Amino acid sequence: MQTTLKSPVRFSGVGLHSGAPVRMTVHPASAEYGIWFRRTDIESNAMIAARWDSAVPGARLCTKLVNSAGVMVSTVEHIMAALAGCGVHNALIEIDGPEVPILDGSSQPFVEGIIAVGLRRLNAPVRAIEVLEPIEVREGDAVARLDPSDTLYIDFHIEFDDAAIGRQDKTLNMANGSFVRELCDSRTFCRQDDVTAMRDNGLALGGTLENAVVFDGADVLSPGGLRHDDEAVRHKMLDALGDLALAGAPLLARYSGHRAGHALTNKLLRALFARPDAYRMVVCDTATAARLPGVGVRNVDIPVLA
């Protein structure tokens, strides 16, 4: 059955790039509603669909959604990953600014809020998007690909010159709460040189060593170091789940990312939906529904942070 939250859950913080304070509330919604954002600081045309075709093509630093009137909300990937990873199908996200709060740079605060209020089952079946044919997109040496699978897998490979990152590979079956256990606490990351360049261009104004992992060669500058030795690739997988959630329904597919990012994952979804023969919508039976991300998530699955 489809789900929504049992009650609203509220978050407040600053935007990673703007540095501006922002308040956000995730509200329950009815069956078949999907996920929508509503800008409460905008008087009209304030609704923005959390869908692949609302994403701004080519956006690389974060995922940005825009409606037909040009009203935008950005950095949506962490809350979208939390909703998908907790198995939430329907929600209205009210936000009083143009950027989702970065909080600690991961999805864990969102996950904690969602699990704390709990989920309510709705009288409607869950539909999933079953990928039938391989779909692949490339940009330079970056690759994103979808292959048929009976459940969602995420494979990811990254490679950086910085010794503290280096080469990292990870594969996860996203069924049965693995997002909450394995990925949700992994923080966004960047290199010190990137921080300097972004701030010179008026970006990352809300970034701190407390809400991002900053690497400088062989050094990790953030206090306390890493939450996982491979936190960087885990965060890229977190981002991928959030960006794939813009498909509008759970995916039955194997996603593979090689140096892929937000823009390439959205390009992959666009390529998929441009091929009606490459996918089909299916009503999930009990066995299929049991393999979706978020099913069976418990409070004890949330990682305990030092």
Residues designated catalytic: 262
Q: Helix or strand or coil: residue 162?
A: coil
Check: CB of residue 2 under 8 Å from CB of residue 127. no
157, 37 in Cβ contact below 8 A? no
C-alpha–C-alpha distance, residues 24 and 2, integer Å: 23
Cβ-defined contacts of 192-198 (< 8 Å, 24+): 192/216, 192/221, 198/17, 198/61
255 three-state secondary structure: strand
Instruction: Give the closest residue to 40 by CA, choosing from 26, 27, 24, 58.
Output: 24
Q: Which residue has the tokens 């393999």?
A: 291
Give the containing element (helix H, strand E) for 5: strand 3-5
The two tokens of residue 280 are: 């089909």
Q: In terms of DSSP bridges, do strands 9-14 and 21-28 run parallel, antiparallel, or are they unpaired?
A: antiparallel
Spatial CA neighbour of 231 closest among 218, 213, 249? 213
Which contacts (CB < 8 Å, 24+ apart) does range 263-267 have?
263/57, 263/58, 263/59, 263/60, 263/139, 264/137, 264/139, 264/142, 264/143, 264/144, 265/144, 265/239, 265/240, 266/52, 266/55, 266/57, 266/59, 266/63, 267/57, 267/137, 267/139, 267/144
